[in-house]
Amino acid sequence: MARFKRCFPGWPAALLPVLLALGLHAAEANTAGGRLARIAGSGALRVCVWPDYYGITWRDPKTQQLSGIDVDMAVELARSLGVAVRFVDSSFATLVDDVRADRCDIAMFAIAITRERAEKLRFASPHLQSDIHAITTKVNRRVRDWSDIDRPGVVVAVARGTYHEPVMRQRLTAATLKVVDTPHAREQEVESGRADVFMTDYPYSRRLLGSVDWARLVSPPGPYHVVPYAWAMAPGDDGFHARIERFVDAVRQDGRLVASARRHGLEAIVNVP
């Protein structure tokens, strides 16, 4: 346990047993076949992505090209396996179903490790981490700083299926929580005035602040709920998991992860022990 605390400082203590139980440094099983053989046979690595995640796996609406740190890493992973990469659209709401139904080999869109997800998916070692941030409008007078959020009369929007939903259900005591179906819907709730703030993370806040003129960032004064982000796989197949672990170690050590984070403005949240 002490080893994990050194590697992942600042993360909630409650997550450390989860990380330990996931076997983040499990030895590769000496088994024939499995997912690696299937990938080699098909000539393609299928990667689930959420294409609205700026800096992570974002699809430009004009060019339809994907970009972001996890797009870069997916390309590098496929290259290391000697195959092509094939991206499969997914979302946080459909993540578990998409992975467990074998619609992709691995989900690579900075997935927050939560206890609920860890019960259904297997995670690689985390490569990013982010706290929760809030977005309000520049004209909102009820929420000026973080301490104004959990107050009577304040409406807090979250997107269904994101980790913000269970966290805010637990944390809010006075404000009203409003769960909407998509990340875009939470923006509309705030912009229209039907909600005062919506909860998001560091990468998504960067995209919004750079693309609209009505938004204002509200950040916690100190760590609020810092969560590790990683790639997710279906449970089992130790050989595939171990191969992904070796790749994570490699891109951390040779500088590819940090270089990609720098290109996409995410150097502040990259995790390199």
Whole-prediction pTM value?
Answer: 0.80
- Decide: 196 and 140 in contact? Cβ < 8 Å: yes
Please count the other Cβ atoms lying within 10 Å of the Cβ belonging to residue 74. 25
Amino acid, res. 168: M
Average pLDDT over residues 92-116: 96
pLDDT of residue 182: 87
- Decide: 244 and 124 in contact? Cβ < 8 Å: yes
pLDDT of residue 12: 54
- C-alpha pair distances (Å), 61 with each of 110, 184, 189, 252, 261: 21, 14, 22, 31, 22
In sequence order, the β-bridge partners of residue 128 are: 229, 270
Between 210 and 263, the higher pLDDT residue: 263
Please tell me the CATH superfamily of domain 2-129+227-269, with its number.
Periplasmic binding protein-like II (3.40.190.10)
Q: Is the dihedral of CA 71, 81, 229, 195 positive or negative?
A: positive
For residue 207, what pLDDT band results from cuts at 50, 70 and 90?
Answer: confident
Answer CATH for 132-218 from 3.40.50.300, 3.50.50.60, 3.40.190.10, 3.40.109.10: 3.40.190.10
Please count the other Cβ atoms lying within 10 Å of the Cβ belonging to residue 112. 24
Q: What does pLDDT average to over the chain?
A: 90
Average pLDDT over residues 95-113: 97
pLDDT of residue 133: 96
List the end-to-end C-alpha distance of the chain, in Å, as a whole number. 15
For residue 57, what pLDDT band results from cuts at 50, 70 and 90?
Answer: very high
The set of residues, in sequence order, having a beta carbon less than 8 Å from that of 267 and lying 6+ positions away, is: 258, 261
**Strands (E) located in 80-159:** 84-89, 106-112, 122-123, 128-130, 132-137, 155-159
Topology agreement, domain 2-129+227-269 and domain 132-218:
yes
pLDDT of residue 33 exceeding 80, the answer is: no
For residue 40, what pLDDT band results from cuts at 50, 70 and 90?
Answer: very high
pLDDT of residue 164: 94
pLDDT of residue 29: 35
Q: How far, in Å, CA of 234 to CA of 189, rounded?
A: 34
The residue ranges of every structural domain in the chain are 2-129+227-269, 132-218
Q: Is the dihedral of CA 237, 74, 184, 136 positive or negative?
A: positive
Tens-place pLDDT, residues 151-174? 999 999 999 988 999 999 999 999
pLDDT of residue 109 exceeding 70, the answer is: yes
Q: How far, in Å, CA of 190 to CA of 193, rounded?
A: 5
Average pLDDT over residues 72-90: 98
Average pLDDT over residues 50-59: 94
Secondary structure class of 46 (helix, strand, coil): strand
Average pLDDT over residues 119-137: 97
Q: How far, in Å, CA of 249 to CA of 265, rounded?
A: 21
